[in-house]
Structure 1
Amino acid sequence: MKQTIVLAALLGGAHLVTGQNNPYQIADSVKQHLDQSLALLRQHALQRDQVDWAQLQAAVYEKARGAQSVQATLPVYPYLFEQLRDSHGWFSYKGRSYGWSPARAPYTNAAVKAALKQKPGVRVRVLDGRYGYVRVPSMQIRSLEDVQRQAQALRDSLCRVQPRRLRGWIIDLRLNDGGAMHPMLAGLAPLIGDGLLGGFVDPSGKPTEQWRLRGGDLYVDTMRFSRLGPATCPMPRKPQPVAVLLSGRTASAGEVVAISLKGRPGTRFFGEPSYGATTANEGFELSAQSGLSIATQREIDRTGTLYQEQVLPDEPIDGGDNFIDLNQDAKVRAALQWLRKAKVRPSRPKA
C-alpha cells in the first residue's frame, strides 16, 4: 500500500451543497467536515463513477441528522465506504479507524491466525541444506529513515545464511497482513533482482506510477525510497528460483510484494488465495484528529496483469501450516519439492 497525505483544507469551499439551509439540523462545523469527506471521496474514490452522488449526499445527511459533533457522525463512514465498495479504505478519528468489510466466509486457518497473534518478525533459515527461507512480516513506517532501517535489517538477515551457497529461496508472505511495501521490497532486492516490478493504474486503467528496483534500491517513479545499493554480502551471480507462500491473511503491502514477484522468471506461488486488498490508498487529513484513507488506484504486475482482488497461488494448498517446525509444513515441503527441480530462464528486465 502507498500513502500520500493531502490537506483537505486545500479543497477550500468544495462542498457538494450550499450551506444556507440546514434542514438536517447538523452543526455547521460538523456539516463542513462531512462535506469535505464527501468531496474527497467524490474526487478520488475508485468507484466514484458508480455512485449517484446527490442520493448519497442526501442519505449521509439523513444518517447524520441532528449531529452536533464529529463523534456523532461515525456510523456514516462505514456506510460511505460500503456504497463505494471500498473495503481497503477507512476514516480515522482520535486514533481509531472506521471502515467497511464485505461479508466473507470465516477464515478457518487456525495456524495462521494463531501465528499472527504472536506478532511475528523476520525469520531466515536454511532448509534441506541448500535452500533459503525468509519470512517477511508486516512492516510499518513513518519516514524514509524507517524504510532504510527495516530494509537494512532484512538484508542483514539474508546475509547471515551465506546466500551465495544456496540454490533457491522460499519467500514466506503468509503472516504479512500489510503495512508499507517499501522496506519489504528494498530488503528483498537481492532475491528479486533489478527491473520493473509493478505499478498503479487509475479507474480507467491508465498507468499512474511504477515501482522498480535499480541497483538494489527501490524507486517509485523517480522517487528513491532506499539507499542500500547492491547486497553487502556475496550473492549468487545468477537469478535463483523463488517459491512464494501465500495465505488468506496476506494482504495490502504483503500483496504488493507478491504482485512484484508475479511474472518473475523461475517463480512459483504456493498456498491460499490472498486476502484481496490489492488497491493503493491515499491519505487525506481532515483535521488534527481525523482523516480519510481512500482506495484510489489498482495494482498491476510487471506483465501488465491487473489485480482486481486476490493474488492466486499456482499450487493451491489448504492447511498444513506449521510455523514452529518448517520441515513439517505442507506448503514449505511443496515449495522445496519444486525448488529441487526448478530452473530460471533468464529474461531481460525492463528498465
Structure 2
Amino acid sequence: MYVRVFELLKDHHGNLAYHGKSYGWQKVPSFRNAYLKEKLSHEKSVVSSVVDESVGYLRIPGNNDFAFKKVDSIANDIASHVNKVNSEKIKAWILDLRLNTGGNMYPILLGLKEFIGEDIVFGGFRNAKNESTGEWAVKDGKMLIDGIELVRATSLALPLNKDISIVILTSCYTASAGEMTAISLIGCKDTYIVGEPTAGYTTAVQGFEINESAGINLSTDFVVDRNLNVYKDRIEPNFEVLLGDNLENLQDDKKIVQALKLLKK
C-alpha cells in the first residue's frame, strides 16, 4: 500500500520504515552506467590527486552518516585531502561526485567551505508555497546551515588560489547529498558541471515517528541554489558526457578529458 502511496505522491525520496525494513516507490532510472555501478560497492573513501600538473582532483563518495555522528571526521578528511593536493601551482579543481549517492550533506559542504565562497547565501530549501524553510550560508568564515554553525577542526594549510575554476563531475548515481553538494557550487564564477544527468533526489526529507516500530520519511521541501533556482528533479550538466569513465587511469576518463579541455579554455 505504501509503495502506491509514495508513487501517487511522486515521492521517490521518502519511505515507510517498519521493523527495520523500508517501503517506498523506486522511480525507474532513465540511464544506467554499469562501470560506475560496480564501483559503488567498494569505493567508499575520498580520493585526491593532481591531474595535468595544475588541476587538483577530489573524488568524494556518499556516506551513511544519517545519525550525524561522523560530521567532524568526514569534513576533516575532505579538508586533509585538499591540503594534500593544494599548492601554488593548482589553478583549478575537478570535484568528482560521480560516486556520491547521498547521505549526510552537512560534512561534505563543511569540507568544501572554501570552494563555496565567502559572505554568501549559497542555497537552501523552499516548501510547496515557495517559502524559505532553510538557508545555507558562509559568513565571516563560518558555515551556517539553517542558522546552525558547523565547525571544522582541520583548516587549509594554504588558501585556495584566487579566481579558481571548478568542474563538477556527475553521473546518473549522483543523488541526494551528492546533488545538494553540486547545487551548493552552482553559480560560482567559472564553475561548470560535466557528465551525466543526476538521479533526481533534490528534495529535503523529514522523518516522523509513528510508534516504536514505524516511522515515515516524507519529502517536504525543494532545494534552491544561490541564485534561487529551484531544483525539482535531476541536475542537467552543462556539458553532457555519457559513460567513458576510467577511475583507474584518469587521463583516459572521458569526463575528465572534457573537464580539462574546458579548463584550458
Counterparts of 1:236 and 1:96, CA distance in 2: 44
Task: State the percentage of identical aligned residues.
Answer: 35
CA root-mean-square deviation:
1.6
Q: Distance in 2 between matches of 1:238 and 1:281?
A: 36
Deviations 1:248-279 (A, max 9, x none): 11000100001111111110110111000110
Q: 2:74 aligns with which of 150, 156, 160?
A: 150
Q: CA deviation at 1:101?
A: 1.9
- Code of the residue aligned with 1:321 in structure 2: it is D
The residue aligned with 2:134 is 209
The answer to whether the aligner puts 1:92 opposite 2:21 as a matched pair is no
Q: Are the counterparts in 2 of residues 147 and 226 from structure 1 also a CA contact under 8 Å?
A: no
Whichever residue aligns with residue 170 of structure 1, its letter is I
**What corresponds to 2:146 in structure 1?**
221
2:193 alignment partner, SS class: strand
Which one of the candidate residues 12, 33, 39 is aligned to 1:109? 33
Work out whether residues 135 and 147 of structure 2, in 8 Å CA contact, stay in contact via their aligned partners in 1: no
- Which of 85, 90, 96 in structure 2 is aligned with 1:166? 90
8 Å Cα contact 1:182/1:218 also seen in 2: no
Q: Unaligned 5+ residue runs, structure 2?
A: none
State the one-letter code of the partner of 1:260. Answer: S
1:276 aligns with 2:164: no
2: CA distance, partners of 1:281 / 1:108? 25
Provide the rounded CA distance (Å) in 2 between the counterparts of 1:186 and 1:164.
Answer: 23
In structure 2, how many angstroms separate the alpha carbons of the residues matched to 1:189 and 1:299?
18
SS in 1 for 2:130: coil
Q: Could you tell me which of 269, 293, 305 is aligned with 2:217? A: 293
Is the contact made by 2:61 and 2:100 (CA closer than 8 Å) also made in structure 1?
yes
Equivalent residues of 2:66, 2:104 under 8 A apart? no
Q: What is the deviation of 1:142?
A: 4.8
How many residues align? The count is 264
Q: How does 1:316-327 map to 2 (within 5 A)?
A: 316-327=240-251
2:179 corresponds to which of 250, 255, 275:
255
259-268 vs 115-124, which moves further = 115-124
Runs of 4+ in 1 over 4 A off after TM superposition: 142-145
Q: How far apart are the structure 1 equivalents of 2:136 and 2:69?
A: 19
Question: Secondary structure in 1 aligned to 2:70?
Answer: helix
Cα separation, 2, equivalents of 1:163 and 1:312: 31
**By how many angstroms is 1:165 displaced?**
2.6
Kindly report which structure 2 residues correspond to 1:44-83, keeping only aligned pairs within 5 A, or say none. Answer: 76-83=1-8
The corresponding residue for 1:69 is: none
* Cα distance change, pair 250–142 in 1 and its aligned pair in 2 (3 A): closer
Aligned equivalents of 1:155, 1:217: Cα separation in 2: 15
CA separation of 1:215/1:175 partners in 2, compared to 1, >3 Å: closer, same or farther?
A: farther
Higher helix share: 1
The secondary structure found in structure 2 opposite 1:160 is helix
**How much has 1:147 moved relative to structure 2?**
1.0
- Where in structure 2 are the equivalents of 1:180-191 lying within 5 Å? 180-191=104-115
Q: Return closer, same or farther for 1:117/1:266 CA change in 2, 3 Å cut-off.
A: same
Supply the distance in 2 between the matched residues of 1:205 and 1:91 (Cα, whole angstroms).
26
Matched, 1:246 2:165: no
Q: Is the 8 A contact 1:201 1:298 kept in 2?
A: yes
